[in-house]
Amino acid sequence: GAGVSQSPSNKVTEKGKDVELRCDPISGHTALYWYRQSLGQGLEFLIYFQGNSAPDKSGLPSDRFSAERTGGSVSTLTIQRTQQEDSAVYLCASSLGNSADTQYFGPGTRLTVL
């Protein structure tokens, strides 16, 4: 079946603009994660959705970052008033929802803020 998909694959924007990144998880996966990966860095956790529960937003770096997940499926990560330090690859992953479960990652969105 289809894996996790993300769009766009690349996004170039100007400083101060807002961007929206989209993630389509694997059907039936109740857990969805957003991570950020900068060059040479590890995966930085941003936000976690599990079913209909309130999301864990503890990893969001500032209030310019927000995310929502509609209908327990598609998720959108929004970055307002982008800054150059927001440039990174944003990865989405989904899983069945248990802590031992494999995470299935999308290909990522490479964001470049000029």
Partner 1 sequence: SQKIEQNSEALNIQEGKTATLTCNYTNYSPAYLQWYRQDPGRGPVFLLLIRENEKEKRKERLKVTFDTTLKQSLFHITASQPADSATYLCAQSGGSYIPTFGRGTSLIVHP
Can you give the binding site for partner 1, defined by CB under 8 A?
4, 31, 33, 35, 40-43, 45, 48, 50, 56, 58-59, 91, 93, 97, 99-100, 102-108
Shortest Å, Cβ 105 to partner 1: 3
d(CA 5, CA 25): 7
| For partner 1, the closer CB: 15 or 102 | 102
Least spacing, CB of residue 106 vs partner 1, in Å: 5
What is the enclosing helix (H) or strand (E) of 75? strand 75-79
Compare residues 18 and 53 and give the one whose CB is closer to partner 1. 53
b/e per residue 45-54 (b: at least 16 CB within 10 A): ebbbbbeeee
CB of 15 to partner 1, least distance (A): 24
Place of tokens 């800054």: 83
- Which among 3, 15, 28 has a CA at the least distance from the CA of 64? 15
Q: CB-wise, 50 or 87, nearer to partner 1?
A: 50
Residue 33 CB burial class (10 angstroms; 0-12, 13-18, ≥19): buried
Of 13 and 103, CB closest to partner 1: 103
Rounded least distance, CB 50 to partner 1, Å: 7
> Residue with structure tokens 């499926």?
73
